[in-house]
């Protein structure tokens, strides 16, 4: 293919993918299948890799992230981000209306725009000539953090606009996490034995400040826009701004409405106070804005908020019900959660019969007792909580709740680490929910991918005494499984018939081929996620090397800090863990990088690299190439670093340090030459992997 034809195809693919992205994420009405979309995206990525001269940061392929922001720069907003005054009653809203009318003068017509108030993290986006140039958090309203790299991964934020947009403008809105995504993420965390997130809002704002934009991309954030800030006002009303922004490609909620009287406003509140539970996002109130921009300008601002807009917060729904009993759940890391079992009550559109009591302190603080009539609330939190007690209804003869002292699952005395609110069961190795949790993690998709071993089957195998840890999986035989059955406390029957027994054994056998880096993730070392495991596996090459590495040696790995390094050392200092790993090895589980691990040559063996600056391809792709050819990525320049692979705009501090240590600085082109010096890959004369494709175009 000629470069001209490649360029034409790249442009066409980008336009088409942008349109499908828009249809899928903004309009919520896709016109092609996910598979078709993925195929087109893969084709584009392939072309961009072959022709890096046509790379573009606004390409749909860049939506997956990969850029790492170590420190978020503080930037001054082009115009201040005011916050809204809150009102909590209709009287307060009527006061607002009276102030507006007084401010504008008697007899002037006032029209309001009503919008829902989404519960997320405020953001300001700057567009210049139709392209996203900056995304900022609210911060203190005057200055915020530059989160552009992360915002670019949010698919409903357009990178290129359509239609008749102003040459330069800011647009403001809310970054939110849909409730369904929030629940998915928490379910996965439960499986991984990690603490759950409290609510979508905190998770959304925390996600915006993650260093790795690829991680941000995977979270599934969404962005709803509601306020256009033009350099000079050309759109006369707020309502028209919303419509314009929608035409430019932004996701602008459809629920906005015009109001001419207080009755219109009250009707909107009455409707959404209930209908909000059917929305995919959380909303905690409505916003009332004066529609006319010239009226807005005349009303102006107080020290912190506009005089032409106000928020009204829905009252959190709260219902009384009876606390029937308290049960205690043991999490996968041994943490104990007290749960209130309630007489069923309808709250915020769902029947609630359980509420969290958080921990012993919370129970003591509330002094909640069995038989009490309690008030249950479901506010910004997804999990209902008890917020108070109707003491007048307390039955005679109740006693304060005595918190359990022993694990309800295994009877081990609980511990409460100093400075922590939670109790834990310390019996890691023999407490059933903890054992089951580790095995579920081992078998999960990103780990050993033993598909037919779900939560139910793990429970069955552990309860029947067939397995005590994940290494035992490899000792199971057909006769152990065939006909095995159990009836759960809830009356559910779990069993293994001939077919399912065979299928599980096949899946366990197949897991012996799972690459080493996933094995390292699967064994469940605290803080070692799948990406970290991959980096460590590539760096050390074998489990033996990792088991004998010191914390200091581990910290030489790119992006491994002291917390992770110490956790790994601690894990392997336990003889039982070492023994379990030895057993896995004896059963044939992968304990070193081998076939299928993506290694293409060893031309860079023993060489360490620091990658710094901007390149024709992404830094992550370069790092991947270094590892594929046997080299190591290290995070900081030290005397033992062999090369600095320097792109455009490499930091001057790094260059100076490299010079003083006498480390060789090489360019992207020189790097490709190093790869080319290695043994030839296949019969087509392709040098190991991607290098040839890129290199061919550069020289
Ligand atoms: Zn226990």
3-class SS letters over 81-125: CCCCCEECCHHHHHHHHHHHHHHHCCCCCCCEEEEEEECCEEEEE
What's the CA gap between 64 and 53, in Å, rounded? 20
Centroid of ligand 1 to alpha carbon of 354 (angstroms): 22
Rounded to 5 degrees, what are φ and ψ at 573? -80, -10
Q: List, in order, residues 6 or more apart from 441 with CB less than 8 Å away.
A: 191, 192, 193, 332, 447, 522, 524
Instruction: Reply yes or no on whether the pLDDT at 684 is more than 90.
Output: no
What average pLDDT does range 181-203 have in this prediction?
77
pLDDT tens-place string over residues 355-366: 888 889 989 999
Instruction: Reply yes or no on whether the pLDDT at 298 is more than 50.
Output: yes
Q: Is 368 helix (H, G, I), strand (E, B) or coil?
A: coil
Centroid of ligand 1 to alpha carbon of 410 (angstroms): 4
Instruction: Reply yes or no on whether the pLDDT at 154 is more than 90.
Output: yes
Centroid of ligand 1 to alpha carbon of 472 (angstroms): 20
| Residue 438, token pair as written in the block | 């580790």
658 pLDDT band, cuts 50/70/90, is confident
668 pLDDT band, cuts 50/70/90, is confident
Q: Pick the most confident of 35-49, 288-302, 368-382.
A: 288-302
Average predicted confidence (pLDDT) for the chain: 87
* DSSP character string of 278-298: GSSS-EEEEEEEESBHHHHHH
pTM of the shown model: 0.59
| pLDDT at residue 382, as a whole number | 65
- For residue 131, the cross-strand partners are 128, 160
Q: Which of 102, 117, 512, 607 is catalytic?
A: 117
Centroid of ligand 1 to alpha carbon of 326 (angstroms): 17
Q: Is 229 helix (H, G, I), strand (E, B) or coil?
A: strand
Order of strands, edge to edge, in the sheet holding 168-176?
Answer: 131-137, 121-128, 168-176, 222-230
Centroid of ligand 1 to alpha carbon of 190 (angstroms): 17
The answer to whether 158 touches 132, Cβ cutoff 8 Å, is yes
| Residue 645, token pair as written in the block | 């692979």
pLDDT tens-place string over residues 605-620: 888 888 888 887 778 7
Query: Radius of gyration of the chain from Cα atoms?
Result: 29
Centroid of ligand 1 to alpha carbon of 414 (angstroms): 8
| pLDDT at residue 221, as a whole number | 94
The answer to whether 18 touches 40, Cβ cutoff 8 Å, is no
The yes-or-no answer on residue 117 being catalytic is yes
Instruction: Reply yes or no on whether the pLDDT at 682 is more than 70.
Output: no
Centroid of ligand 1 to alpha carbon of 364 (angstroms): 23
pLDDT tens-place string over residues 638-649: 777 888 888 877
| pLDDT at residue 625, as a whole number | 84
Vertex 514 angle, CA 513 and 515, to 5°: 105
Instruction: Reply yes or no on whether the pLDDT at 340 is more than 80.
Output: yes
Centroid of ligand 1 to alpha carbon of 341 (angstroms): 21
Strands 643-646 and 608-612: parallel
Quick count: other Cβ atoms within 10 Å of Cβ 557? 23
Nearest to 157 by CA among 78, 57, 249: 249
689 pLDDT band, cuts 50/70/90, is very low
Percent over 70 (pLDDT), the chain: 94
Instruction: Reply yes or no on whether the pLDDT at 96 is more than 60.
Output: yes
């Amino acid at each position: 293919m000629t470069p001209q034809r490649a360029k034409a195809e790249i442009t066409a693919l980008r336009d088409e993918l942008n349109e499908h992205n828009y249809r899928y994420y903004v309009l919520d009405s896709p016109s092609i299948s996910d598979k078709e979309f993925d195929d087109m995206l893969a084709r584009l990525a392939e072309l961009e890799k072959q022709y890096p001269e046509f790379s573009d940061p606004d390409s749909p392929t860049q939506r997956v992230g990969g850029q790492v922001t170590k420190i978020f720069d503080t930037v001054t907003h082009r115009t201040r981000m005011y916050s809204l005054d809150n009102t909590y009653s209709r009287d307060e809203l009527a006061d607002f209306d009276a102030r507006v009318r007084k401010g504008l003068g008697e007899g002037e017509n006032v029209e309001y725009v009503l919008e829902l108030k989404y519960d997320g993290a405020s953001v300001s986006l700057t567009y210049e000539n139709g392209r996203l140039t900056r995304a900022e958090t609210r911060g203190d309203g005057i200055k915020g953090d530059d989160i552009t790299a992360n915002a670019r991964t949010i698919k409903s934020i357009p990178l290129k606009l359509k239609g008749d947009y102003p040459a330069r403008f800011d647009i403001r809105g809310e970054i939110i996490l849909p409730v369904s995504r929030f629940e998915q993420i928490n379910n996965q965390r439960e499986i991984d034995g990690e603490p759950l997130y409290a609510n979508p809002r905190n998770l959304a704002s925390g996600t915006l400040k993650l260093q790795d934009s690829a991680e941000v991309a995977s979270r599934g954030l969404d962005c709803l826009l509601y306020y256009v800030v033009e350099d000079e006002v050309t759109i006369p009303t707020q309502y028209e701004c919303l419509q314009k922004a929608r035409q430019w490609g932004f996701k602008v909620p459809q629920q906005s409405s015009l109001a001419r009287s207080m009755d219109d406003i009250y009707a909107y509140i009455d409707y959404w106070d209930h209908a909000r539970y059917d929305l995919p996002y959380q909303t905690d109130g409505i916003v009332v804005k004066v529609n006319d921009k010239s009226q807005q300008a005349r009303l102006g601002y107080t020290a912190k908020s506009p005089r032409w807009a106000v928020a009204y917060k829905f009252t959190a729904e709260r219902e009384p019900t009876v606390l029937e009993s308290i049960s205690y759940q043991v999490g996968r890391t041994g943490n104990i959660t007290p749960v209130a079992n309630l007489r069923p009550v309808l709250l915020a559109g769902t029947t609630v019969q359980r509420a969290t009591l958080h921990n012993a302190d919370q129970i003591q603080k509330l002094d909640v007792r069995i038989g009490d009539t309690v008030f249950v609330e479901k506010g910004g939190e997804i999990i209902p909580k008890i917020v108070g007690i109707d003491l007048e209804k307390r039955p005679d003869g109740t006693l304060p709740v005595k918190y359990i002292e022993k694990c309800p699952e295994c009877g081990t005395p609980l511990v409460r680490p100093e400075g922590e609110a939670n109790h834990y069961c310390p019996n890691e190795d023999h407490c059933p929910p903890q054992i089951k949790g580790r095995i579920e993690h081992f078998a999960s998709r990103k780990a050993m991918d033993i598909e037919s071993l779900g939560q139910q089957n793990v429970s069955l195998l552990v309860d029947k005494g067939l397995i005590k840890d994940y290494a035992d999986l490899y000792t199971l035989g057909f006769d152990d499984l065939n006909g095995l059955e159990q009836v759960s406390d809830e009356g559910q029957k779990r069993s293994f018939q001939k077919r399912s027994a065979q299928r599980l054994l096949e899946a366990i056998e197949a897991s012996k081929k799972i690459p080493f880096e996933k094995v390292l993730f699967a064994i469940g070392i605290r803080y070692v996620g799948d990406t970290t495991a991959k980096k460590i596996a590539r760096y050390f090459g074998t489990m033996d090397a990792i088991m004998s590495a010191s914390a200091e040696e581990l910290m030489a790995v790119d992006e491994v800090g002291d917390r992770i390094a110490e956790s790994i050392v601690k894990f392997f200092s336990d003889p039982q863990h070492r023994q379990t790993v030895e057993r896995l090895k004896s059963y044939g589980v992968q304990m070193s990088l081998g076939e299928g691990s993506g290694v293409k040559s060893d031309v860079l063996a023993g060489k360490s690299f620091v990658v710094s600056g901007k390149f024709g391809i992404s830094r992550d792709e370069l790092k991947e190439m270094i590892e594929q050819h046997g080299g190591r990525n290290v995070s900081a320049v030290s005397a033992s670093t062999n090369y600095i692979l320097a792109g455009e705009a490499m930091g001057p501090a790094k260059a100076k340090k490299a010079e003083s240590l006498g480390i060789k600085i090489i360019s992207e082109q020189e790097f490709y030459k190093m790869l080319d010096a290695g043994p030839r890959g296949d019969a087509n004369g392709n040098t190991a992997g991607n290098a040839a494709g890129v290199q061919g175009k550069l020289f």
